[in-house]
Amino acid sequence: MTDLIQPTILITGATGSIGSELAKQLADKQIPFRALVRSLDKAKALKHFKGAELVTGDFKDEISVIKALKGIEKVFLLTNSSEDAESLQCNFVNLAVKSGVKHIVKLSQFAADLNSPVRFLRYHAIVEQKIKSTGIQYTFLRPNLFMQGLLGFADAIKYQQKFFATAGNAKISLVDTRDIAAVAVERLITADQDDKIYDITGAEAITHYEIAQILSEVLHKEVKYINVSDEEMQAALLQFGFPEWQAAGLIEDYAHYARGEAAVIADTVKDVTGKSPRKFLNFVEDYKSLFG
């Protein structure tokens, strides 16, 4: 009988890092939602969530987006940062407004700015500006570096006891994606009609050397942070299969971290969810088995 409840929330990016956690948290709260996914096969885990309705679609296929938006009042908007993310998201906003959506919760990034030297921060700012220009209610979630990004190094940490980046000795208030999702949930279910822009950070700012130290303590083995040059990082990213645009964007992103521009600590998680954000130690303890 639960099928009779029409969801009014649409999640995009539901197979990704934040979206999958958002789906789980909505299901835990018994809030029905629709998820637009490119592949039902990839979205298998979502099928088991109570109240989840899966629709296949792609931001590149307008008809599929229009179908997914039918009857929807609130949207969680997220794609990965690709060269066409800006146009895909702006087109999506047009379709959402036309279809009568009332509130867009957009996953943006900490320090999003039209004049930033970081391409990801510029495109997020352009999409934010686009959303504002439509007059629709909005929430912009601007999280800092994800703790879960370290999972990309899980094997290197497990088998070689090391990970690398170009962050230098800069402090970064990195944040757990579960806390970002928790803020998104609150904004998707709120009756508050005000527009909001939220910086989302963890409870502390730590360096990559301190990350290595915490990993070492929890895993009972020495894990090293290797600070590499931009050229070394770019070569490694290309070797891992990252498209050139994205690899260059990540180098710019890390230069921004290395300049110490991402050390601010925001109260958003506590203010919006009532719970303090997780510390990096909590993250490592929860994901310990993956790091070996």
Ligand X SMILES: NC(=O)c1ccc[n+]([C@@H]2O[C@H](COP(=O)([O-])OP(=O)(O)OC[C@H]3O[C@@H](n4cnc5c(N)ncnc54)[C@H](OP(=O)(O)O)[C@@H]3O)[C@@H](O)[C@H]2O)c1
Binding region for ligand X (CB under 6 A): 12-19, 38-39, 42, 58-60, 78-81, 88, 107, 109, 120, 143, 145-146, 149
Helix residue ranges, H only, the chain: 17-28, 44-47, 62-68, 85-98, 119-134, 154-160, 177-189, 208-219, 230-239, 244-258, 268-273, 280-286, 288-291
Question: 109 vs 234, which CB is nearer to ligand X?
Answer: 109
Residue 275: how many other CB atoms lie within 10 Å: 10
Contact 143, 175 (CB under 8 A): yes
CB of 12 to ligand X, least distance (A): 6
Residue 135 CB, nearest approach to ligand X (Å): 23
Query: Judged by CB, which is closer to ligand X: 13, or 277?
Result: 13
> CB of residue 27 vs ligand X: minimum separation in angstroms?
16
Nearer to ligand X, 60 or 259 (CB): 60
Tokens of 214: 């915490």
> Is the CB of residue 46 less than 8 Å from the CB of residue 15?
yes
| For ligand X, the closer CB: 82 or 169 | 82
- Cβ at position 61, least distance to ligand X in Å: 8
To the nearest whole angstrom, how small is the minimum distance from the Cβ of residue 155 to ligand X?
18
Q: Which is nearer to ligand X, 4 or 175 (CB)?
A: 175
SS3 36: strand
Q: Nearest 5°: phi and psi at 240?
A: -75, -5
